[in-house]
Amino acid sequence: MVEADFQRIRELVKPHTRKQFEAKSKLKALAIVESSLEGIRSQPSEFEVRKLVREVQKGKDWKEIFPGIASLQLSSTGSGLNVDIRITKKDGEAVHLVPEGTPGATVLAVKRVNELDYYSLPPMKFAEKLNLTPPKALALAKHLKLQDSADYFKLIRIGKSPFSRYSGKALDVAKEALKEGNMEEIWQEHRPKVTK
């Protein structure tokens, strides 16, 4: 992967090309990983990135420029530890989401998600996909505590108006629950209370 990326960088830094910005961003990402492997938590300066560009132009191999990355061995087969990155509010090592360019911050991972794509199901559509009436779908959601989990539900504000939205994961969990549970019992337990 690094080899292929570095070949692209070589093409981008050739004289008389106007694509050095792309090369710099790729080199910056590699430099951040290299620094992290050395225990340094910082972003490379513009001067350091230009220096990396000059080293590539001189024909240096990526393994010379980034020896820490070169020492990594990544494999998707065989045995060993699987590594997952999950950012949570309370568990694990202290990780903070900060704006790009924050001094002293190191990039671990970047994932951009359009919330309306992730939480793609309004309550009516959620009910429709479950072949339930909206009140029964809400009773099932309450039974499964879907609205208590950010993986399954979010109240999204558009302007000043709030909109309830469920995720595809919520739909999968609800479908599984319908196979295993008794919807009539769930409905009796969670249906709206009639007031007189």
Q: What's the CA gap between 156 and 118, in Å, rounded?
A: 11
Q: What pTM was computed for the model?
A: 0.44
Of the residues 111, 130, 146, which one is the last residue of a structural domain? 111
Domain extent for 28: 1-111
Answer whether residue 195 is part of any domain.
no
User: Is the domain of 181 the same as that of 161?
Assistant: yes
Which residues, 6+ apart, have CB-to-CB distance to 154 below 8 Å? 115, 119, 165, 167
Please, what is the angle between helix 20-37 and helix 46-57, to 10°?
Answer: 110
What is the tally of structural domains in the chain?
Answer: 2
Which residues, 6+ apart, have CB-to-CB distance to 189 below 8 Å? 139, 143
User: Is the domain of 100 the same as that of 131?
Assistant: no
pLDDT digits 0-9 by tens, 129-178: 999 999 999 999 999 999 998 889 999 888 888 899 999 999 999 999 99
pLDDT digits 0-9 by tens, 41-78: 667 788 888 888 888 888 888 888 877 777 765 555 55
